[in-house]
Amino acid sequence: MTVNSPPNATRTYRPVMSPTWWWLRHPAWVQFMLRELSSVFIAAFLALYLARLGAFASGPAAYAAFQAWHRTPLSIALHVLILAFALLHSTTWFLLTPKIARVHVAGRSMSEKAVAGGALTAWAIVSALVAWWLLG
Amino acid sequence: MGICGSCGMNVNGTPRLTCATFLREYAPGPIRVEPLANFPIIRDLVVDITDFMEKLPRVQPWLVRQDETPLTGGEYRQTPGEMERYHQFSLCINCMLCYAACPVYGLHPEFIGPAALALAHRYNLDSRDQGRAARQAEVYSEEGIWECTFVGQCSVVCPKKVDPAGAIQQEKVSAALDWLKSVVWPWGNR
């Protein structure tokens, strides 16, 4: 019997994987879906930012109304959610960076921890600088 | 142990090599042993791996040469540094735990899959190989690297730390750079 010969039984059973709910079957898949979902909240933030620019261009009254909406509990809750997903998005991004980019230093490849650690550190430093510039 | 790749099964929902899975890890239990996921089940814990056996040769997992030097020319030589570039991806034992862990393969069985694509990457990185263009049609296809959504579980379950997810993303970078070169420098040689 060769390796590639088909099995004698002509019937095989293939368990069905739900196209909608498959990701609930394993915690790692739930994390993956949350990671992918985070992009939606990044896009939502960008949309809000564009709306802010539009309100700014429309004059003081429009901008004041826009600011007033941002002080509502709904807006604050939405922005907390956006921040949480933005942090998830960026953290998972930099943790995955070493898998995509093989960094060679002095003829040897850097370890995954070193690449991810470097990227996360650079992100923290740049974020701190931007925060200091905007808020300081 | 952990080298023939024949004993892959789903243990408590996770693909494992059962020769390296001990009851003490799951004490006090219970423990659930199922056939390797995403493959048609023939009977009991036996699955049909024909699909993988058909896919593997499609990526041409061997050295492809444009110019063959005669035997009198000696071996195709390689430095330790050149070997290190692909060594990790050569460790695959074809156990298919990665296929069992991949939800994309479960939902879309036409996906060529992590192990086959990691092996294509291993040969694309080999300095002795000249076959990246030859593999392109299969590897850079819709059923190839572009079907992957980087869930990453294949690399988590791999018993030999091959990192097929990394291999596929690196091939995506190569493919994107190829496309960019073809747009910016269409008359250039590959």
**pLDDT of B185:** 86
Calpha distance A98→A117 (Å, rounded):
10
What element of type H or E holds A52? helix A27-58
Chain A CB contacts of B42 below 8 Å: 7, 9, 12
**Residue among B163, B19, B168, B2 at smallest CA distance from B93:** B2
Q: What is the pLDDT of residues A92-112, one digit of tens each?
A: 999 999 888 887 777 677 888
pLDDT confidence bin for B12, thresholds 50/70/90: very high
State whether residue B163 is helix, strand or coil: coil
Q: What is the pLDDT of residues B125-140, one digit of tens each?
A: 999 999 999 999 999 9
Enumerate residues 6+ apart whose C-beta is below 8 A from A75. A69
pLDDT at residue A1, rounded to an integer: 47
Q: What is the DSSP letter of B11?
A: E
Residue in chain A nearest B12 by alpha carbon: A26
Q: What is the full per-residue pLDDT of chain A (136 aa) written as tens digits?
A: 456 555 555 789 999 899 999 999 999 999 999 999 999 999 999 999 999 999 999 999 999 999 999 999 999 999 999 999 999 999 999 999 988 888 777 767 788 888 899 999 999 999 999 999 999 8
Cβ atoms within 10 Å, residue B80: 8
- Which CATH code, of 3.40.50.720, 3.40.470.10, 1.20.1250.20, 1.20.1300.10, is assigned to A30-135? 1.20.1300.10
Whole-angstrom distance, CA of residue A66 vs CA of residue A61: 9
Q: Residue A81 has which token pair?
A: 């959610």
Q: What one-letter code names the amino acid at A13?
A: Y
Whether B95 and B159 have beta carbons less than 8 Å apart is answered as: yes
CB contact under 8 A, A6 and B84: no
B27: helix, coil or strand?
Answer: coil
Q: pLDDT tens for residues B88-116?
A: 999 999 999 999 999 999 999 999 999 99
What is the residue extent of each domain of chain B? 49-184
Placement of tokens 């590959």 in the chain: B190
Q: Between residues 53 and 112 of chain A, which touch chain B (CB distance below 8 Å)?
A: 96, 98-102, 107-109
Q: Which residues contact B188 (CB under 8 A, 6 or more apart)?
A: B181
Residues of A in contact with B50 (CB under 8 A): 4, 6
Reduce the secondary structure of B87-145 to three states and give it as a string.
HHHHHCCCCCHHHHHCHHHHHCCCCCCHHHHHHHHHHHHCCCCCCHHHHHHHHCCCCCH
> What was the ipTM of the complex prediction?
0.87
Write out pLDDT tens, residues B48-87. 999 999 999 999 999 999 998 899 989 999 999 899 999 9
The DSSP element (H or E) to which B42 belongs, if any, is: strand B41-43
Average pLDDT, chain B: 94
Q: Which residues of B touch A32 (CB under 8 A)?
A: 103, 151-153
Q: How far apart are CA A46 and CA B27, in angstroms?
A: 49
Chain B interface includes A26 (CB < 8 A) = yes
Q: Which of B118, B98, B8, B110 is nearest to B55 (CA)?
A: B110
Give me the percent of chain B exceeding a pLDDT of 70.
98
Q: Which fold has domain B49-184?
A: Fumarate Reductase Iron-sulfur Protein; Chain B, domain 2 (1.10.1060)
Domain boundaries, chain A: 30-135
- Structure tokens given for B140: 């850079």
Residue A12 DSSP SS3: coil
Q: Which of B43, B54, B151, B153 to mutate to test the interface with A (most CBs of A within 10 A)?
A: B151
